[in-house]
Amino acid sequence: MPNNENAWLCVDIRGYATLIDFDEAKASLLLSTYTSIVSECIELYGGTLFNHQQIIQIARFFSPNDAFLCATELLSKFREFNIGRHKPDRLLVSAGLHFQVGDTAVILPSGKGMNLAERLLVMAEPGSIIMSGDMYRSISRLIDVKAIEYRDVEIGPGVGPMHIYKTLSDYGDEFNKPDSDATGDETRLHIKEIKHIKGNGHAFILTTLKWLTIMLGFTLVVALLESGENNVTALSLLTGWFANPAFYAAIIPFPLFMAALFAERKIHFELTNTGDTERVLGIILSHMGYRSAVKNGNTLHFKPYAANILIFGLRCFYAQITPGGITLSGPYLYMSKLIKMIQRYEQTGQI
C-alpha cells in the first residue's frame, strides 16, 4: 500500500522573469544549472521530482526530515554557487515545505499538500525556507531547526489562518530592508506611473449580454414552473411579463451590475525598478483567491481556484512583464483591489 504521509517541497528562482527579458541566453544557462542542482539534491535525499513550471520545481518525500534536509542542502549549494558572482549571474532560490497526512497525490503532482507548499513558497524571500506548522512539528527534534514563528497568517482561500515558520535568509537583510531606494534592494517595485488603458466598450457589452442571457434563461425556467402550477401556458406568462415595465426594471439592473464588476479592465504600471514582479504578483493574487501563475513567454496567467469561480465569479488575470513595466488585465472590480495592494506593497513592503 502507498504511504499516505507526504512531505512536499517547492523551490523556485527569484527574479528569473526579469533576467530572461534582458538576457535570454544567460537565463537559459542559469536555468539549466538550477534544474541540475535541484534534481541531484532531491534524488540524493530520496524524493520524487515533478517538473512543474521549470523555475518552480516540486518534489514529494515520505519523510519530513528528508524534505527539510534537502531544502537546507539546496539553499546551501546555491549560496556557494553565488559566492563572488554579480547579481545578474546569481541563482536566488527559496523553498516552501508542507507535511500532509492522507494526501492521495502519490503519482501526479496535485492535492492539498502540494498546493499549500506552493502557496508558502511565494512568501519566502531568497535564501529562506517557509514551512507550515505541520511540517515544523513533524521534523525530528534531533535536527536543529532555527526558524521564526508567524502566528495566524492568511495563506489563501479555503485554508484559513495558520502558524508558519521561516528560516533566516542566507543573504541576511539584503532582500528585507525597509528603504529599498537607499539599499539598492532589487526585490521591491518602484512605480513611476499608472496608466489606465481605455477599452472600446466591447467587454462591458459582451458581459452585460452574457448575464442578460442568463437572466432570460432563468425567467424561462420560472415561467415553465409557474405554467405547470397555474394551468396556463408559459408563453402567456412571458407575454404578460414582457408587457409590464416593472419586469425590465427588475431584470436589467443585475446584468449591468455584473458587467460593472467583471468586465475586463487594463492597467499599465510603468516602473523604475521591476523588482521581483512575478513573485510579488503571485503573493498578492494568492491572497485574492488565485492559483500560482502559468507562464507563456513573458505573459503570466493567473486562474482563480474553482471554489472562487462558483462563489465570487472570479475571472482570470493576465500580466505581461517587460523590462519597463507590467500590463495587467482582469475583472474591473478586482483590478481596483489589485492596484491598491500593489501600491501598498510599493510603499510599505507589506501585502
List strands edge to edge, sheet with 294-296: 190-197, 264-273, 325-331, 317-322, 299-302, 294-296
268 shares its domain with 301: yes
The mean per-residue pLDDT over the stretch 300-319 comes to 75
Most confident of 14-23, 76-85, 216-225: 76-85
Residue where a domain terminates, one of 142, 176, 210? 176
212 lies in the same domain as 240: yes
Q: In this structure, are 116 and 171 located in the same domain? A: yes
Q: What are the residue ranges of helices labelled H in 45-189?
A: 64-82, 112-121, 133-138, 180-183
Last residue of a domain, one of 176, 210, 236: 176
**Is 184 inside a domain boundary?**
no
Residue 239 lies in a domain: yes
Q: How many Å apart are CA 227 and CA 218, to the nearest integer?
A: 14
Q: CA nearest 280: which of 350, 196, 210?
A: 350
For residue 42, what pLDDT is reported?
A: 94
> How many whole angstroms separate alpha carbon 341 and alpha carbon 285?
9
If asked whether residues 19 and 61 sit together in one domain, one would say yes
Long-range (24+ apart) CB contacts under 8 A made by 23-28 are: 23/88, 26/88, 26/89
Are residues 136 and 90 both part of a single domain? yes
| Residues spanned by the domain of 235 | 202-260
Angle of CA points 79, 81, 84, to nearest 5°: 95
Tell me, what's the pLDDT at 312? 57
What CATH number did the domain enclosing 75 receive? Answer: 3.30.70.1230
Residues 44-74 as b or e (16 or more Cβ within 10 Å = b): ebebebbebeebbbbbbbbbbebbbbbbbbb
C-beta separation of 21 from 298 below 8 A:
yes
- Averaged pLDDT of the chain: 79
Mark whether 228 and 320 lie in a shared domain.
no
Range of weakest confidence among 56-65, 126-135, 173-182, 301-310: 173-182
- Is the domain of 238 the same as that of 283? no
Same domain, yes or no: 154 and 218: no
- 38 part of a folded domain: yes
User: Among all chains, which residue has been given the C-alpha cell 492596484?
Assistant: 339
Mean local confidence (pLDDT), 13-26:
73
282, 165: one domain: no
183 domain residue, yes or no: no
pLDDT at 18: 65
Q: Residues 216-264: pLDDT tens digits?
A: 888 888 888 888 777 778 888 888 888 888 888 888 888 887 776 667 7
- Please state, in angstroms and rounded to a whole number, the distance separating the CA atoms of residues 47 and 103: 16
Taking the alpha carbons of 67, 71, 76, 81 in that order, is the dihedral positive or negative? Answer: positive
Q: Within a domain: residue 182?
A: no
- CA distances for 2 relative to 62, 75, 102, 117, angstroms: 10, 30, 10, 21
Query: Domain check: are 256 and 278 in the same one?
Result: no
- Residue closest to 119 by CA, chosen among 94, 145, 144: 94
Note whether residue 181 is domain-resident: no
Residue, of 324 and 145, whose pLDDT is higher: 145
pLDDT over 90, % of the chain? 18
Query: Looking at residue 261, what is its pLDDT?
Result: 67
pLDDT in tens, 254-271: 888 777 666 778 888 887
pLDDT of residue 146: 85
Mean pLDDT confidence for 65-89:
92
Check residue 108 and give its pLDDT. Answer: 36
| Residue at 310: amino acid letter | L
Whether residues 109 and 149 fall in one domain:
yes
Say how many Å lie between the first and final Cα of the chain, rounded.
Answer: 43
Q: Residue 343: inside a domain, yes or no?
A: yes
With a CB cutoff of 8 Å and minimum separation 6, the contacts of 24 are none
Flag whether 99 is in a domain.
yes
pLDDT at 216: 87
Coil, strand, or helix at residue 312?
A: helix
Total domains, the chain: 3
The last residue of a domain, from among 141, 176, 211: 176
Instruction: Indicate if 50 and 147 belong to the same structural domain.
Output: yes
